[in-house]
Amino acid sequence: MTAENTARRKFLEDYRIIRHAEGRGSDNSEYYRALPSCERSDPNAAMWAMRSKTYSYFEKHILKALEDDKRTPLDVLDLGSGNCWLSHRLSVRRHRPVAVDIFDDERDGLRAARHYPDRFPVIESNFDCLPLPPKSFDLAIFNASFHYSVDYLHTLCEIRRCLRPSGLFVILDTPIYRLPDHGRRMVEEKHAAFAKRYGFPSDSLPSIEFLDIPTLKTLRDALKIDWQILKPWYGWRWHLRPVNALLRKRRPPSKFWILVGRFQTQ
């Protein structure tokens, strides 16, 4: 077994421990079919409330426009699909999703797809070497997953290969900072919190874990990307986080903007 495979296996073991400890998943198929909505008693209700707002904004302001333009079902890459809730939602709207993730867990990974009445392809793969033909998708969605990339340039080159000339990609629920240092401080805090709670920092498989404004500009110039930045409303408490952080002399919190990208050369 190579060092890379060993690191990946260790990461997935650690990831499974964390996700299960967080109370992810259910034995009830109705739980999955309702996502991103969930009961207030759910241990991850706050996270799903944000995901629900993100999805509603995406559905209204991005997906609906694509549907009106194409007037035919879309071929969609659901990248970092997790338990495949987004692929299910897309299938309900008569699109053709392909769910991609490296985590095949039966509660919080690809094998949770069994809970949905619709059937769609699920592929166990990372983002950088997708076993898919070129120019075969209209839309690629990073579903709270882009920050797991180890090389954003490489990842987006692979997505460009898979998209049709008119295709676009969307980045949902990835933490974004104005300065790289703020993101690096977040990563340090996150790993320290994991080490304290679980006994390990969950960093055996490297990933960048955040985006920042300088990186967006670098990617724009290197790959000739037209970026559109959309800013969903998550409520006053979320809106006032920067003020609270400043008053408490903490690092600036992340933004959860929606990023829509289109490659100019296609």
Residues 6+ apart with CB under 8 A from 195: 201
> Percentage of the chain surpassing pLDDT 90?
84
Residue 13 backbone class (left: φ over 0; alpha: ψ -120 to 50; beta: rest): alpha
Structural domain of residue 25, as residue ranges?
Answer: 3-263
Q: Is the pLDDT of residue 1 over 60?
A: no
Asked whether 140 and 77 are in contact (CB, 8 A), the reply is yes
Element at 30 (helix H, strand E): helix 29-34
Residue 173 backbone class (left: φ over 0; alpha: ψ -120 to 50; beta: rest): left
- The CATH number that applies at residue 219 is 3.40.50.150
Q: Is the pLDDT of residue 94 over 70?
A: yes
Q: What pLDDT was estimated at residue 15?
A: 83
Q: What pLDDT was estimated at residue 202?
A: 76
When comparing pLDDT for 194 and 72, which is higher?
72
**Number of compact structural domains in the chain:** 1
pLDDT band at 3 (very low <50, low <70, confident <90, very high): low
Q: What is the pLDDT of residues 137-186, one digit of tens each?
A: 999 999 999 999 999 999 999 999 999 999 999 999 999 999 999 999 99
Q: What pLDDT was estimated at residue 210?
A: 97
Stretch among 13-27, 67-81, 121-135 having the lowest mean pLDDT:
13-27
pTM over the 0.85 mark = yes
CA separation for the pair 100, 102 (Å, rounded): 7
Q: Is the pLDDT of residue 212 over 90?
A: yes
Q: Is the pLDDT of residue 115 over 90?
A: yes
- The pLDDT of 209-229, averaged and rounded, is 97
**Average pLDDT taken over every residue of the chain:** 94
Q: Is the pLDDT of residue 257 over 60?
A: yes
Locate tokens 């969930």: which residue? 38
